[in-house]
Amino acid sequence: MSFPCTWCWFDVDGSRDVDHGRTTTGRESCAGGARIKTMADDVVEEGEGPAFVAEGEGVVVADLCDDVANDEAHEGAEASDDASTVLQVHRGAVYAVAWSACGRRVACGGGDDAAHVAGAPTAVQVAALHAHRDSVSALSFAMDGRSLATGGLDGYVCVWDVSTSQKQWQWDGPSDGVEWVDWHPRGNVVLAGAEDGSTWMWDASKGRLMNSFHGHGGSVTCGRFTPDGTHVVTASADASLKVWDPKTGTCLHTLHRNPFHDQAINAIHISQDSTVAITGAVDGSVRLANIQTGRVLGKLEGHTDSVETVGFSNKLPLCATGGLDHKLCIWDLHTLTLRGSKEHPDSVIKLLWHPKEPLVYTACADGNVRLWDARTMECIQMFRGHSVGAQ
């Protein structure tokens, strides 16, 4: 039995008591319903990849699961559901969510091979997008919010006009599933990384291939344009990070093995000034690297299991990491030391910094989203409703 994906809107301003406190990820499935929830907030920034993503005026989280084997769990979740708005769209697991930078639209893609777009905060469905022949694994809005890029396990990347639901372009290139997609911060250009180790870049105005980037020996698990748009940074299951010139396709720097990672890289984030990358790997290692010089800046040691999510604060010299060891860790970038950590009841799947305050959202495999003060490590608020892992 499949459970329809649900969009929900949370009131972040409301006060609520909080609890202090191997997950499935991506395309794996587990017991429970496929649900998406959003938490209203007028100052949340763009996220870095599929799942727990935020842009504009909210935060989106999604259940990992597509099977309602445990109906009692859902009944209990509804009893303490903080959502104020619900929209059911998918029939299957949700693998990717994205919020437009203008804060007016939210998109999700899933195991039913479709993507859906809804208005915010009304949650009225705007578009149903059907073209992929396998699960929609990645999503990204253009900066103006008018176009949406979708990537699928069928190896295709599609660009859609959201207002008309019309497919503008469909590109092939990867010989395997698409891991992530990203829009250039200022241009009409789409970037996508794939399981076959390749990365592709297209002109979304003319529909033509601009460049492809080859050199990784494993799946390109994460990547993006730098915030200033001058470089492409990719990281891979082969434990390497590469910095590329998007115009020529030349690899400018490669970081691999000692003193970098020895095992597959799961997560990457780039500092707002486009100079430093933070990466997390399956062995619990975290590294900081200067992407302009190609030098490793330091190691952050504290996790005992796979690091699933990383991120820089835009306001303070801090960064955060979360992993399968149930930990959220806050690090001082000046001293490269652990400022504090907090145990969660289950794996930390995704984190997101508030753009204006020293606050961090975490999505946990227990189904709850928590808001933490990075200065005191106090849990300020918890958002309930999901009965299984929120990503």
Q: CB–CB of 260/287 below 8 Å?
A: yes
What burial letters (b/e) apply to 161-191, b meaning 16+ CB within 10 Å? ebeeeeeebebebbeebbbbbbbbbeebbbb
Distance CA 376, CA 355 (A): 18
User: How open is the CA angle 304-305-306, to the nearest 5 degrees?
Assistant: 140
Closest to 125 in 3D by CA, of 95, 91, 88: 88
Q: Determine the Cα–Cα distance for residues 155 and 172; give it in Å rounded to an integer.
A: 6
Please tell me the distance from the alpha carbon of residue 186 to that of residue 205, in angstroms, as a whole number. Answer: 13
Q: Supply 266's token pair.
A: 């799961």
> What residue type is assigned to position 365 of the chain?
A
3-class DSSP state of 158: strand
pLDDT, tens only, 67-83? 333 333 334 434 477 76
Cα–Cα distance, 9 to 31 (Å, whole number): 23
What's the alpha-carbon Rg for the chain, to the nearest Å?
Answer: 19
Contacts of 151 (CB under 8 A, 6+ apart): 136, 137, 138, 139, 157, 178, 179, 180, 181, 192
| Cα gap 230→95, rounded to integer Å | 29
Q: Which residue has the tokens 């990457």?
A: 268
Phi and psi at 72, nearest 5°, equal: -65, -35
DSSP secondary structure, 59-122, as one string: EEEEB---B---HHHHHHHHHT--EEEEEEEEES-EEEEEE-TTSSEEEEEETTSEEEEEETTT
Distance CA 257, CA 278 (A): 15
Give all strands (DSSP E) within 258-317, no chain letters: 265-270, 276-281, 286-290, 295-300, 307-312
Query: What is residue 31's predicted lDDT score, i.e. its pLDDT?
Result: 30
The tens digit of pLDDT for each residue in 258-270 reads 999 999 999 999 9
Are 261 and 299 spatial neighbours (Cβ–Cβ below 8 Å)? no
Q: CA-to-CA distance for 331 and 315, rounded, in angstroms?
A: 14
pLDDT < 50 positions in the chain: 1-7, 9, 14-35, 38-61, 64-79
Decide: 213 and 231 in contact? Cβ < 8 Å: no
Tokens matching residue 217: 């020996």
Residue 270 structure tokens:
């780039």
pLDDT at 117: 93
The pTM for the full model equals: 0.83
Q: Any idea how long the chain is?
A: 391
